């Protein structure tokens, strides 16, 4: 190696044997390695930042599609400034999907029931399309709204309102 150079240029592939690490940082804070089964990027200090500085370009996470090919699962789209999930998302039972900078809206399934929890504000169901019909459908006994004992059947049965008389 030439000690007068400010960088080392490598013009050939570097091959690391299993369990041999490429180590970075004065305290070996970052390691990249592979064992006989898996590959790792291991960071022990502060945040691990993956950054793309190319204008209007993306960071794309791909993996096997189950049949030997690759597919795009998550895309950080630099030109649209959005995160795109290109495949379905699975959230395990009793884990929240938290929305908002204060995480003040949560959606959860506990294995038996489904919840939308709001820590502030209102929940609006909107259909902003022209001449569209907005439906809430429940298989079985219709739709029940707990406030004021209102029952709106989703079948051809008559509408029943059981509203308490004001005192």
pLDDT tens across 73-128, in order? 999 999 999 999 999 999 999 999 999 999 999 999 999 999 999 998 888 777 67
Q: Is the confidence at residue 157, as pLDDT, over 60? A: no
pLDDT in tens, 20-34: 999 999 999 999 999
* Predicted local distance difference test score (pLDDT) of residue 10: 86
In this structure, are residues 136 and 152 in contact, taking their beta carbons and an 8 Å threshold?
Answer: no
pLDDT for res 138: 61
Q: Which pTM does this prediction carry?
A: 0.67
Of 45, 44, 2, 37, give the one whose Cα is nearest residue 18: 37
Q: Are 97 and 107 in contact (CB under 8 A)?
A: yes
């Amino acid at each position: 190696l030439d000690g007068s150079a400010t960088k080392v240029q490598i013009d050939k592939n570097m091959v690391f044997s299993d369990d041999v690490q490429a180590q970075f940082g004065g305290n070996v804070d970052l390691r990249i390695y592979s064992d006989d089964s898996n590959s790792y990027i291991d960071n022990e200090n502060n945040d691990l930042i993956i950054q793309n500085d190319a204008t209007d370009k993306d960071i794309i996470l791909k993996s096997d599609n189950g049949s030997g090919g690759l597919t795009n699962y998550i895309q950080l789209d630099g030109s649209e400034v959005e995160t795109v999930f290109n495949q379905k998302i699975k959230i395990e039972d009793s884990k929240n999907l938290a929305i908002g900078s204060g995480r003040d809206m949560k959606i959860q399934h506990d294995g038996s029931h489904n919840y939308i929890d709001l820590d502030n504000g209102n929940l609006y169901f909107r259909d902003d399309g022209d001449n569209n019909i907005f439906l809430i459908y429940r298989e079985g006994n219709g739709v029940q709204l707990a406030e004021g004992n209102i029952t709106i059947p989703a079948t051809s049965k008559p509408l029943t309102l059981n509203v308490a008389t004001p005192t």
